[in-house]
Amino acid sequence: MKEIRTDAGVLRYHEVGDGPPLLLLHGSGPGVTGLRNFRGNLGVFSEFFRCLVLEFPGFGVSDDFGGHPMVTALDAVDRFVDALALETVDIIGNSMGGGVAVNYAIAHPEKVRRLVTIGGIGRNIFSPGPGEGIKLLQEFTENPTRERLIAWLHSMVYDPAVVTEELIEERWTQATDPDTLASARRMYSKAAFAMMLRAMEASDTPPPWAMLHKVTAPTLLAWGRDDRVSPLDMALIPMRTMPNVELHVFPNCGHWVMIEQKEAFESAVLAFLLRKGTD
């Protein structure tokens, strides 16, 4: 693991492979890290790319920058790309990381060559919101218990066999770290969630889903058909409003496409990122 010192704190990241830079941005949730999200995919992607897995502030690996984790995550990407003097990057963003990647691509269209998101963007059209997985995440954040963690983990996947004792243990250890839990509560406690909704309603700024048409980078939306965190109908708005976008739906798959449909996901992403003549 490498690190970059900034005036807000230390950013840590993992680097493997050679070639054009591929930035991998993790999601949120109890015990998450960038390496846990993408460790199974790095062997394949690093054959073609210089893979850079950024650990967002406040999730127990990089320093906590304070503030709302999604805001500090965007700031971290900005600082990270500048610190490494990356002229252009491809980005894979999982869930919250996809939202951060979209915001970065809107703010810096000249920096993002191609973009892959895994669930997590758009808005509910037919399904109630927030989704089941978000509600379970809120319950765990409010009152962390092992049982609530297991319930949330099961909402993330189609196949319950993915939720192993090893996964539960590593997630539990990090999720219950006092500093990491405090950061999570700034984002997912019921009070924080309600405050965010009130702020969005009172703001003159359009909601994130209404800004998706500003993403100019070619984009691949990767979605699990059986996602209980970001249900598939959320993909309809980005699929119709993003100018240069493709949607790939993976069957028998929940929110963690890169884990549950590892080989199919890697194949689809590499075909997209390595394709000639669509930039």
Rounded Cα gap, residues 201 and 112, in angstroms? 30
Question: Greatest CA span in the chain, whole angstroms?
Answer: 51
Crossing angle of helices 69-83 and 178-188, in 10° steps, is 110
Q: At what angle do helices 178-188 and 190-202 cross, to 10 degrees?
A: 40
Contact (Cβ atoms closer than 8 angstroms) between residue 171 and residue 156: no
Provide the pLDDT for residue 202: 74
What pLDDT shows up at residue 132? Answer: 94
The catalytic site residues sit at 255
Q: pLDDT tens digits, residue range 74-85?
A: 999 999 999 999
Secondary structure E strands in the chain: 2-6, 9-16, 21-25, 50-55, 89-94, 112-118, 219-224, 245-250
| Contacts of 197 by beta carbon, 8 Å cutoff, 6+ apart | none
Question: What per-residue confidence (pLDDT) applies to 279?
Answer: 59
Encode the chain (279 residues) as per-residue pLDDT tens digits.
999 999 999 999 999 999 999 999 999 999 999 999 999 999 999 999 999 999 999 999 999 998 888 889 999 999 999 999 999 999 999 999 999 999 999 999 999 999 999 999 999 999 988 899 999 999 999 999 999 999 999 999 999 999 999 999 999 999 999 999 999 998 888 887 777 777 767 777 888 999 999 999 999 999 999 999 999 999 999 999 999 999 999 999 999 999 999 999 999 999 999 998 755
- Residue 119 · residue 255 · CB < 8 Å: yes
User: Where do the domains of the chain lie, and which CATH numbers do they carry?
Assistant: 2-126+206-274 (3.40.50.1820)
Query: Cβ-count burial of 138 within 10 angstroms (0-12 exposed, 13-18 middle, 19+ buried)?
Result: buried
Q: Report d(CA 57, CA 180) in Å as an integer.
A: 10
Classified as helix, coil or strand, 278 is: coil
Residue 133 CA: distances (Å) to CA of 66, 137, 214 = 25, 6, 28
The helix or strand, by DSSP H or E, that contains position 36, with its residue range, turns out to be helix 34-38
Q: Is 260 within 8 Å of 157 (Cβ atoms)?
A: yes
Q: What is the pLDDT of residues 23-62, one digit of tens each?
A: 999 999 999 999 999 999 999 999 999 999 999 999 999 9
The Cα-based distances of 233 to 69, 119, 122, 170 in angstroms read 26, 10, 9, 32
The 10 Å CB-count burial string (b at 16+, else e) for 46-83 is: beebbbbbbbbbbbbbbbbbeebbbbbbbbbbebbbee
